[in-house]
A = this chain, B = another copy of it.
Amino acid sequence: MTRIAIPADSFFGSENLPYGSFSTKDNPLPRVGVRVADSVVDLSVALGDDVFAQPTLNPFMAQGRAAWDKTRSRIKELIAEDIPDAAVHAVSDVTLHLPIEVADYVDFYASEHHASNLGRLFRPNAEPLMPNWKHLPVGYHGRSSTVVVTGTDIIRPQGQRKGPNDPAPVFGPSVRLDIEVELGFIVGVGSRMGESISPDEFAEHCFGAVILNDWSARDIQAWEYVPLGPNLGKSFATTISAWVVPLAALEAARVPTPVQDPEPLPYLRGKENWGLDVDLEVHWNGDTISRPPYAPMYWSPAQMLAHTTVNGASTRTGDLFGSGTISGPEKNQRGAFIELTWGGAEPVLVNGEERTFLEDGDEVVITATAPGLAGTRIGFGEVAGRILPSRGGAQ
């Protein structure tokens, strides 16, 4: 039997308890575990429930809020006592897998600072914010098949690009490969066609949150994105963290969103606070180059889900929605290199070297923490990815 020691300053104490999918050398079948300090508790063993002997969280998430709450209580009791050795693994000994089977993936654009910066960069002769931006959370559907777990290498995408002075588009590996620092929110219980989810019903549907890196090839995106939005500039890869932080763990992080003026339409209004006081950090080859804060995000995730369903679109277990790039008001709070370097015109120092976009071999690691209950601080783990050279081949 093992009693897991939880240091007082652990980001993975009893007020966090994020879920993930893991396997071990002895048992290569992915199954559901919960992270406690530097250990992973195998819930298929510890709770003896087949819903955790599945390769993703989806079957558990589909059970709904009452089951989520009950399981969280049982886990708190469990880790206060000795646990059978067979149920406890060191985090360093396990392989982490994509924790969810992704249904639909929708990416939003909820930071006013990011949307304004991108507007200035992509459309220098127009108002930075589109007229719709303060009336609805603008979003688009992304590619579900290329959502990968932290640690997955990212192959530099190829595609068409056309600079303002190029007479015709050229083809090749992207030369403006970027990141977008985001949080991702996961639907546990969906809704049927014709139903809509109000902002105050958010906690009945949303299971939890992850860190999300929406890798972006800015040169491909700039050429392709009118009039139907981003496609190949984004669809090659999206990385999420391995540990899904339950919504219940974010109680102490809940804050009001910034004042929304003009007041949104009634379907986007709620009484509950779903702004989130989450602090993120971006590490480029180990050098911390930005600290984007989630709290100033204009639209809340509850508003994003309400908007997604107000037309009657159904949602499903495993739906993932991204917040959009998290950028604060300060330069060192920007969550994308295109903003940090102002389109490449103002390089940043990475370990003393001037850099603009990602080079082959570069590694980006994004971390996030938030206040937990009882004076604790909780962690999301990390989203990490290293850039591999383009495969070539197609022309």
Q: Which residues of A contact B (CB under 8 A)?
A: 103-104, 106, 109, 119, 122-123, 130-132, 135-136, 138-146, 148, 155, 157-160, 162, 168-169, 171, 190, 193-194, 196, 198, 217, 220, 223-233, 235-237, 262, 265-267, 306-308, 310-316, 319, 391, 393-395
Contact = CB atoms under 8 A, between A and B. Distances in A.
A135 B157 contact: no
Contacts of A265: 160, 169, 171, 395
Q: Determine which residue in A142, A145, A157 has the highest number of CB atoms from chain B within 10 A of its CB, and name it.
A: A145
B228 A307 contact: no
B266 A171 contact: yes
Contacts of A228: 109, 138-140, 225, 229-230
Contact of A144 (B138, B144, B220, B226): B144
Given A109-B228, A229-B228, A394-B196, A155 B235 contact: no
Nearest to A115: B227
Closest 6 CB pairs of A and B: A229-B229, A157-B311, A141-B141, A140-B228, A266-B395, A228-B229
Given A132-B224, A228-B229, A265-B160, A143 B313 contact: yes
A75 to B, nearest CB: 31
Contact of A226 (B130, B190, B313): B130
How many copies, total? 2
A393 B119 CA distance: 35
B311 A232 contact: yes
Given A138-B231, A143-B313, 9 more contacts: A106-B231, A132-B169, A136-B160, A140-B140, A157-B312, A158-B196, A168-B262, A265-B395, A266-B394
Contacts of A231: 106, 138-141
B168 A232 contact: no
Contacts of A311: 157-159, 217, 220, 232-233, 235-236
A141 B107 CA distance: 11
Q: Determine which residue in A227, A231, A314, A394 has the highest number of CB atoms from chain B within 10 A of its CB, and name it.
A: A227
Given A132-B226, A193-B237, A224-B132, A145 B314 contact: yes
A308 B142 CA distance: 12
A361 to B, nearest CB: 17
A139 B146 CA distance: 17
Contacts of A109: 228
Contacts of A220: 311
A67 B322 CA distance: 39
B224 A227 contact: no
Contacts of A306: 394
A52 B362 CA distance: 47
B229 A140 contact: yes
Contacts of A143: 104, 141, 313
A316 B146 CA distance: 10
Contacts of A226: 130, 132, 227
A315 B319 CA distance: 18
Contacts of A142: 141
Nearest to A307: B232
A312 B158 contact: yes
A310 B394 contact: yes
A227 B231 CA distance: 12
24 contacts: A103-B144, A130-B227, A132-B169, A132-B223, A135-B160, A135-B162, A136-B169, A140-B141, A140-B231, A141-B143, A158-B310, A160-B265, A171-B266, A171-B267, A193-B236, A193-B237, A225-B228, A226-B227, A228-B230, A229-B230, A232-B310, A236-B311, A266-B394, A306-B394
